Structure 1
Amino acid sequence: MRSLILGGARSGKSAHAEGLVARAEPVRYVATGRRNPSDDDWSSRIDRHRDSRPAHWLTVEVASAADLVAVLSDSHRGPTLVDDLGTWLTGAFDDLAAWDSPRGTVTPAVDALVDVVARYTGDLVMVTPEVGLGVVPESAAGRLFRDEIGSLNSRLADQCDSVHLVVAGLAVELK
């Protein structure tokens, strides 16, 4: 079963996703937020998020966009939870120094992720931000991210058995 959990910032999407796998064992949690030594606030957020998860969950931190594809290429006996694809896509842009590049520069990384998700045979839950419900971002980089995450979300939703949208902690099943 492949599931995609969409929602805005602080919507409860991660908590919903964690609830979907909480009773299964062993859970493999794939964290896509990369540590930045110059950002203490971000490091604290990562630590708080990690400390909130059950200690017996296997946590895998990815350091590059390709790492997520490699992790999902390896089978796992229990469910795998990926949190979140927005930070993964941000890392893909960073890996390629592509923030000022044309749309489609990250397409090979996105294609590789969509392909590995399509072939994934175990239980997979992926968390991703739903963007584009508000104003058009002011910066070119913001518009680029919005366009690319929207495309990624659509492509992954097509590959998933279930898709949920989380708003104010409430999940609505879309698929």
Structure 2
Amino acid sequence: MRHTLVLGGARSGKTAFAERLALRTGRHPLYLATAEALDPEMRDRVAGDAARFATREEPTQLSHAILEEGRESDVILVDSITLWITNLLLTGKDVSQAVGELCATLVEFQTTKVILVTHEVGLGIVPENAMARTFRDLAGSTHQRLAEVCDDVYFVAAGLPFTLKGAPPMADA
């Protein structure tokens, strides 16, 4: 099973691209959201996802959720890794350890395709506060570790996917 990492900036089209990959790849896709629908705008977004996908919210226990949901789904779309990192930071969890667990899960778990969506935050200026710099550094190191274990890695800009590693996407993705 080929796992996929999809990177891009805010509103770059990365999630739409990942959704097309998931719908093209699987018959029983699951949308694994790291966001919690705590306000009306987020509830509307989750409702839109739920119209096309079975949906589960999991803000911190990503590896466990992938293993659990992989029994029923043939493709799992995780959106987003950067929000997951934020959730881990805000709950005082060890991000590096959690990323290591996720990478190990992806390497060992080959029965279900996992598509990971994440925000590339390292293309801008250096943040002026320590927490933002820590987040940027953790996101960058996480992306490198995930890119190493994923078979396909894409960067999406202006809705266009660029292949960084692996197979080029099909024309309809």
| TM-score interval, normalised by the smaller of the two chains | 0.7 to 0.9
Pair 1:55-2:55 in alignment: no
From 147, 160, 167, the equivalent of 1:170 is: 160
Deviations 1:125-162 (A, max 9, x none): 00011121111011111100000010000000000110
Pair 1:73-2:75 in alignment: no
Pair 1:4-2:8 in alignment: no
What root-mean-square deviation, in Å, do the aligned CA atoms of Structure 1 and Structure 2 show?
1.6
- For the 8 Å contact 2:7–2:119, the answer to whether it is kept is yes
**Secondary structure at the counterpart of residue 51 of structure 2:** coil
Identity of counterpart residues, as a percentage? 37
- The unaligned stretches of length 5 or more in structure 2 are 166-173
**Secondary structure at the counterpart of residue 136 of structure 1:** coil
Moved over 3 A (4+): none
Name the structure 1 match of 2:117: 127
TM-score, reference length from structure 2: 0.86
TM-score, reference length from structure 1: 0.85
- Comparing 138-147 and 67-76, the one that deviates more: 67-76
Which amino acid in structure 1 is aligned with residue 8 of structure 2? Answer: G
- Comparing 144-153 and 112-121, the one that deviates more: 112-121
- For the 8 Å contact 2:18–2:115, the answer to whether it is kept is yes
From 93, 102, 107, the equivalent of 1:113 is: 102
**Equivalences, count:** 160
1:48 shift after superposition: 2.6
Describe the shift of the 1:94–1:54 C-alpha distance in structure 2 as closer, same or farther (beyond 3 A).
Answer: closer
Distance 1:107 1:160 in 2: 17
